[in-house]
Amino acid sequence: MTVPISLRHDETFVLNLGPQHPATHGVLRVILTLDGEYVVKAEPVLGYVHRMHEKLAEGGTFAQFMPNTARMDYLHALAFNHGWALVVEKAAGIEVPERAEYIRVITVELNRIASHLLWWAAFLLDLGGFTPLLYAFDDREKIIDLLERVTGSRLTYCYMRFGGVYNDIDDEFIAGTRDFIKRLRSRMPRFYHDLVTHNIILIKRIKDIGIITPEQCRRYGATGPVARGSGISYDIRKNEPYSVYPEFDFDIPVFDECDSMARYMVRMHEMEQSLRIIEQALDKLPDGPVMGKAPKVLKPEAGYYYSAVETARGSLGHRLVCDGGKNPYKVKLRSPTFSNLSLYGEVAEGMMLADALAFMGSLDLVIPEIDR
Amino acid sequence: MNGYWSDIFTGSKSLVTGLLITAREFFKPVVTEQYPYEVPTMTPLFRGHIELIGNEETGQPNCVVCGLCQRACPSICISLEGKKAEGEGAKGKVLTSYVLDFTKCSLCGSCVESCNFNALRFSKEYNLASFDKNDFIMDLLKRVEDQNRCKH
Amino acid sequence: MDTSIWRALFYLVGIMAFAGLNAAYLGWCERKGAARIQRRIGPCEAGWAGLAQPLADGLKLLSKQLLVPQGVDGIIFRVAPVLAMIPAITSMVVIPFSGNIEARAMELSVLLLFALASLGMIAILLGGWASGNKYAIISSARAVSQNLAYEIPMLVTVITIVMISGSMNLREIALDQMGGFWHWNIFRLENGHFLTMWISFIIFFICSVAETNRAPFDMAEAESELVAGFMTEYGSMGFGLFMMGEYLNIVVGACLTTTLFLGGWDCPFGKTPGVWWFLVKIYILIFTFIWIRWTYPRTQIYRLLNLSWKILIPFSLANLLITAALIKVF
C-alpha cells in the first residue's frame, strides 16, 4: 500500500535499524527516515561482515578457496561450491564425469530446498509467526541429515572438487532422499499452504506490499525469485544451462504480481520444481566414477574466465582472472543478494515500518553473501 | 463492498483451518533430540576436528612428516615437526609434534584428502565448547598416545 | 464489624495469591503450550517438567539491577510497570468467581472493569514515552490507537448483554444465566438471542485479544519490528511487572468473557454450579489465547484498525439493533 508522503514541518526522525535488529537477519544496518510510521527514506548500510573473501582467494591455491565459498552464502553453500568448481574447471579444462554432475545437481537442489525452507521460516518470523519456523526446521533437518551423510558437514559444505565431488552417494542416501521427497510433498499442503499461505492475515500482510516493477529489476540487476516474482522469466538453469540441467524437465515459476506474495509463491513453487529435478536425477543416475582426471596442482592458462550458476537467491557469477600461476590472480563475485538489496531503498519509500520490514524479509537477504 | 463478505468468509475459514492444524500437532509426540541427554549417531563421514591414526600394532602414528597436510590447509592451522628416525634399519622421519589450532580450522577436510599415508582422519567429536581458547590448540600426538593408553 | 475486616483480609490474600500464581504460571503454561504445538518439550530443567521455572525466572529478574538509562523520565519510567500491574489486580475485586466468592459486589462493576482496562493502556503509553526510545514511542502510539479502536466494539457488545440482563452488575448478569448452557448468553434460547449472540461472543473475544495486546494483535511489542516495543529499555523487575501485567490482563479478559457469555460459575447441565466450573471455563479461554498466539502471524496496524472499524463495529452495532428488536418483539 503506497501512501503519499507529506514532509510538512519536517516532522521526520531517523531510526537506526540495525546492525543488531531481529528483522535484519545478521548485521545489516538500515538508516530509516520516518515520518510517523511511514518510511521517507531507507538507506541500507553494508560491510559489517566484510571478510575479504575475494582477496583471500588470491593468497591460496584454487582448491584452498573452496571452503571460503561456503562461508559466503551459508544457506545455499553448495551452489557457491558449484559455481567456483565450474569456473575453475572451465579455466583448467577439466572434464567432470557424468555421475558427479548428477550428484552435484541432486545435492545443490536439496540445498536449494533447505535454503527456501529457512527463508520461509525466517520470513514468517519477521511477520511474527513463530510456529511455522519449527515446522519448516523439522523438514530442513531431514535435508541437513542427508547432506551430512554425503558431505560430512551440516551447513558450510566443502563438497565439490575440481573434476567431481568429494564423495559418492550411497543407497541409504538415495532411499533417504526419496523418502524426503514423499515427506515434503505430503506435508506441503497442510503445514505450508493451509497453515500459512491461505491464512488471511498473511495474505493481507504481504499482498500488494513491496511492488518491484520489472523495470526496476532490470535497472538494479535483480535476479532469482525477486525477478521471477516480477514477471521476468530468467533462470540461469534454463537460460544459460550449465552442468546437466538441460536433461531434466522442470519449470521456472514466474508470477506477474510483482508484490511480496508473488516472491513468496515463486519460492514455494520452486521447492516443488527442485523436488522434480531431484526425482529425475535419482532415476537417471548413471554409474561411474565421481572424480575425473584432474592434476594435483592446477595451473590454468592465463586469461579471463566467467561462469554463472543459479543459487536460491539469484544468479551468482564467478569472474576469475588467471596469470598462469598456482593461485588465482583475481576473483570477483557477482552475488545475487547485493543487487536484490540495492533496490530496497527505492521500493521501501512510502511504506509503513512494518511493511518495509516484511518487504525486506521477502527479498531473502543473506548478509555475509552481500558483504563477502 | 466487493469482496467484503467473501473476505470474511474465506478469512474465517483459513483461520479455523490454521487452528485445527496446530491443535492436531499439540497432541503429537515431540520430534526434537534432547541434546545433552541423547547422543546422536554420527554419520560415517562426519567431519569433526582431525586426529592422527595410530598403527594397528605399534600404536605409533602413521604419519611420515611429509607436510602435505600443512601445505593443503587453507587456514594455516596445522603445524608439525619431525626428526630423522633413529635405530637399526630405520628410515624416513618420526613425528615429534603435531599441533592443530582448531580456532582457525574451517573443517574443510583438505588435510585428510591430501594425506597419502592414511595418517589422518576426522574424529567424531561434536561437543566442542570451552571457556578457554587454549583448549582448542590441540596436541594430536598426545591424543594418539592417550587413545593407545585407553586401548591397552 | 469484625467479620468485615476478616473478609477484607481473606479476599486481599486470596486475590493476590490468585493473581500472583496466574502471573507466574501462565508464563510456564504459555511456554509449554507453545512447545507442544511446535513439537518440542519446552522448559524441563528446573524442577519436574520445568515447574520451578517461574521461580527461577522471578529470582533472576528480582536480583537484577533496576537500570534506569540516561535521558529517560525517571519517575514515570519507574511508575509505569507498577501501573500496568495494579489495574489488573484491582479488576479481580469485582469478578464473581462463584455465587459466594466475590470480593465486592458493585452495581456498576462492568463499567469499573472497563475503566481499569483503559488504565493498562496508559501504563504502556507512559512506559514507552518515558523510555525516550524511538521504538518504544512508536510502540506506545500503536498501542493507544489499537486500544481506542477495540474498546468501541467491545463496549457495544457489552451493551447488548446489559440489555438482555438488565443489569450492569457482573453478579446479576451471571445469575441471569443460571440453569444449564441453554441459558448462557452465547446460546440463549430465550427470545432467540442465540441467533446473534455467538457473533457477539466472537467479536468480544477478538476484542479482548486485541485489548491485551496478544498475538496476532501484538503490534505494541512486535519483536521483529520494534525489538521489544515499549519494554525495550526495561530490564529486571520492570520488565517482569509488564509481563505479569500482560498475563493478568488475559486472566481478567477470560473472567469477563466467562461471566458475560459463558454463564459464569454455572454448570453446562444445570446441576452443580460452583467455582470449579468458572475456573475450567477461564482456563479453556486462556488456552485459546495461547493457541491463537502460536498459530497466526502478526497483523499490520492498519489492517487491525480496518478489522475494527470495517468489520467488528458494524457487526456489533447490527447485533445491538437485532437484540433490541428481539427483546421488543418477544
Domain CATH for B58: 3.30.70.3270
Residue-level pLDDT at A1: 43
* pLDDT range class, residue A2, cuts 50, 70, 90: very low
CA distance B126 to A154: 12
Q: Is residue B10 part of a domain?
A: no
Residues of chain B that touch chain A, judged by Cβ-Cβ distance less than 8 Å: 7, 10-12, 14-15, 17-18, 21-22, 25, 31, 43, 45-47, 72-75, 106-110, 113, 122
How deeply is C183 buried, as exposed, middle or buried, from its count of CB atoms within 10 A (0-12, 13-18, 19+)? Answer: middle
Query: For the residues C92-98, what does the mean pLDDT come to?
Result: 85
* pLDDT range class, residue B1, cuts 50, 70, 90: low
Closest CA in chain B for residue A142: B31
Contacts of C294 in chain B (CB under 8 A): 22
Contacts of C284 in chain B (CB under 8 A): none
CA triplet A76, A77, A78: central angle to 5 degrees? 95
Q: What is the mean pLDDT of chain A?
A: 87
- Contact partners, residue C169, CB within 8 Å, separation at least 6: C105, C106, C107, C108, C109, C110
Question: Is the pLDDT higher at A11 or at A285?
Answer: A285
Of C37, C138, C298, the CB nearest to A131: C37
Q: Is residue B59 part of a domain?
A: yes
Optimal mutation site among A130, A202, A355, interface C, most CBs of chain C within 10 A: A130
C118 touching B (Cβ < 8 Å): no
Total number of domains constituting chain B: 1
Residue-level pLDDT at C212: 83
* pLDDT range class, residue A114, cuts 50, 70, 90: very high
* pLDDT range class, residue A7, cuts 50, 70, 90: very low
Residue-level pLDDT at C119: 83
C168-195 confidence digits (pLDDT tens): 888 888 888 887 777 787 777 777 777 7
Residue-level pLDDT at C136: 87
Query: For the residues B3-19, what does the mean pLDDT come to?
Result: 86
Judge whether residue B43 has pLDDT over 50: yes
pTM: 0.88
B123: helix, strand or coil: coil
Phi, psi of C28 (to 5 degrees): -65, -45
Query: For the residues C8-28, what does the mean pLDDT come to?
Result: 86
Contacts of C38 in chain A (CB under 8 A): 130-131, 134-135
Share of chain C above pLDDT 70, in %: 99
Say how many Å lie between the first and final Cα of chain C, rounded.
46
Judge whether residue A3 has pLDDT over 70: no
Share of chain A above pLDDT 90, in %: 13
Query: For the residues C237-249, what does the mean pLDDT come to?
Result: 87
Minimal CA–CA distance to A23: which of A371, A355, A369? A355
Closest CA in chain B for residue A138: B31
Q: Is residue A334 part of a domain?
A: yes
Of A23, A205, A353, the CB nearest to C299: A205
* pLDDT range class, residue A181, cuts 50, 70, 90: very high
Closest CA in chain A for residue C40: A134
Do residue A67 and residue B106 have CB atoms under 8 angstroms apart?
A: yes
Do residue A199 and residue B10 have CB atoms under 8 angstroms apart?
A: no
Judge whether residue C72 has pLDDT over 60: yes
Judge whether residue A187 has pLDDT over 80: yes
Do residue A148 and residue B7 have CB atoms under 8 angstroms apart?
A: no
Closest CA in chain C for residue B9: C311
Residue-level pLDDT at C148: 83
Contacts of A124 in chain B (CB under 8 A): none
Judge whether residue C29 has pLDDT over 50: yes
C295 touching B (Cβ < 8 Å): yes
Residue-level pLDDT at C131: 86
Residue-level pLDDT at B124: 81
Of B7, B25, B74, the CB nearest to A60: B74
Total number of domains constituting chain A: 1
CATH number of the structural domain spanning residue A50: 1.10.645.10
Query: For the residues A13-19, what does the mean pLDDT come to?
Result: 84
Flag the least confident range among A23-27, A200-204, A264-268: A23-27
Structural domain that includes position C203: 2-329
Structural domain that includes position A255: 8-371
- Contact partners, residue B150, CB within 8 Å, separation at least 6: none
Which residue type occupies B71? Answer: R
Residue-level pLDDT at B89: 65
DSSP type of residue A195: I
Question: Is the pLDDT higher at A310 or at C214?
Answer: A310
C269: helix, strand or coil: coil
Query: For the residues A74-100, what does the mean pLDDT come to?
Result: 89
C40 touching B (Cβ < 8 Å): yes
Query: For the residues B82-98, what does the mean pLDDT come to?
Result: 75
Question: Nearest CA of chain C to the CA of A223: how many Å?
Answer: 26
Judge whether residue C300 has pLDDT over 80: yes
How many B-C residue pairs are in contact by the CB < 8 A criterion? 34
B97-141 confidence digits (pLDDT tens): 888 888 888 888 888 888 888 888 888 888 888 898 888 888 887
Question: Nearest CA of chain B to the CA of A275: how many Å?
Answer: 23
List the alpha helices (DSSP H) in B1-152: 4-26, 68-72, 110-114, 140-151
- Contact partners, residue C151, CB within 8 Å, separation at least 6: C114, C117, C118, C207, C211
Residue-level pLDDT at B152: 63
CA distance C196 to C192: 8
Residue-level pLDDT at A266: 92
Total number of domains constituting chain C: 1
* pLDDT range class, residue B74, cuts 50, 70, 90: confident
* pLDDT range class, residue A111, cuts 50, 70, 90: very high
Judge whether residue C312 has pLDDT over 80: yes
Q: Is residue B32 part of a domain?
A: no
Of C36, C41, C291, the CB nearest to B19: C291
Q: How far is CA C241 from the centre of its chain?
A: 15
A249-289 confidence digits (pLDDT tens): 888 899 988 888 999 999 999 999 999 999 999 998 888 88
Neighbors of chain A by Cβ distance (3+ pairs < 8 Å): B, C
Question: Nearest CA of chain B to the CA of C295: how many Å?
Answer: 6
Question: Nearest CA of chain A to the CA of B86: how many Å?
Answer: 33
